[in-house]
Amino acid sequence: MQRDLLDALRCPGDHEESWLVAMVHVAVGSDLRDAELACPVCGAEYRVTEGVAYFTAPTERAAADAPVDGDPFSGDMVVRLAALLGVSESRHPVVLIGRYAAAGAALAAMVEAPQLLVNAGLQPAAEMATRLRVGDRLPFGAHTLAAVAVDAKHATAAMLLSAAHALRVGGRLVAPVDAPLPAGVRELARDAHEWVAEITARANGLVELRRHAP
């Protein structure tokens, strides 16, 4: 996991946004290989193991690590995905969830934005890409992402809502054609397989924690 990602991470628990406190055990340059992440609000703890950030319970890790179904991305499919995401000049992170992560290595040749591969199994990754394992929501703060592509397996209402929350205004969300549009997005286009939408509403961001005088 890239150290720069720490500023974007938030606890995925059902409470106000909070930064995570990191204790780094092993790092190679900017790559965190072994670390602990803790939430000061709910006390939840998450692990970074062999560079992969786990926001799932231990019993859910096998499912998140399982091979991802779907045909390989052809060159034309990668070009199309890059156009849908609309991040050719962005430096903010792009999230590829499930089978979309298979396009990551080829997409890196067209897009300079950092890649976050979520529940991607053992898909080959672009250099400097960060892998995460998550449950039904993304662990990112408001306005931290440039674009998100969600595959059919992960396109639940909770996941799409968390993606919309984490996207910057003007950021794009790509999802299967039968997935529900979350609040705060405007549909730009759709075909027989996918829709692409743009974020139009500003989500509530981090709630600062203050110490009250006794």
Residues 193 and 121 in one domain: yes
- 12-16, 131-135, 199-203, 209-213, range with the lowest pLDDT: 209-213
Q: What is the pLDDT of residues 90-149, one digit of tens each?
A: 788 999 999 999 898 888 888 888 899 999 876 656 677 899 999 999 999 999 999 999
Domain boundary among 35, 65, 95: 65
CB atoms within 10 A of CB 153: 15
Q: What percent of the chain has pLDDT over 70?
A: 84
Residues 41 and 134 in one domain: no
Predicted TM-score (pTM) of the model is 0.87
pLDDT higher than threshold 60 for residue 211: no
Domain assignment of residue 25, given as a range = 3-65
Residues 20 and 93 in one domain: no
Per-residue burial over 60-85, b = 16 or more CB atoms within 10 Å of its CB, e = otherwise: eeeebbeebeeeebeeeebeebbebb
Residues 7 and 53 in one domain: yes
Number of structural domains (the chain) is: 2
**CA dist., res. 32 & res. 202, Å (int):** 31
Domain boundary among 36, 65, 94: 65
Residues 93 and 174 in one domain: yes
Residues 46 and 7 in one domain: yes
Residues 91 and 182 in one domain: yes
In a domain? residue 165: yes
Give every CB contact of residue 170 below 8 A, 6+ residues apart in sequence. Answer: 198, 199
In a domain? residue 207: no
Residues 94 and 154 in one domain: yes
In a domain? residue 205: no
pLDDT, position 212: 39
DSSP 8-state assignment for residue 160: H
Residues 82 and 164 in one domain: yes
Tokens of 40: 């000061």
Distances (CA, A) of 58 to 63, 82, 171: 10, 34, 32
Q: What is the mean pLDDT of the chain?
A: 86
Q: What is the pLDDT of residues 44-68, one digit of tens each?
A: 999 999 999 999 865 555 555 555 5
Residues 91 and 150 in one domain: yes
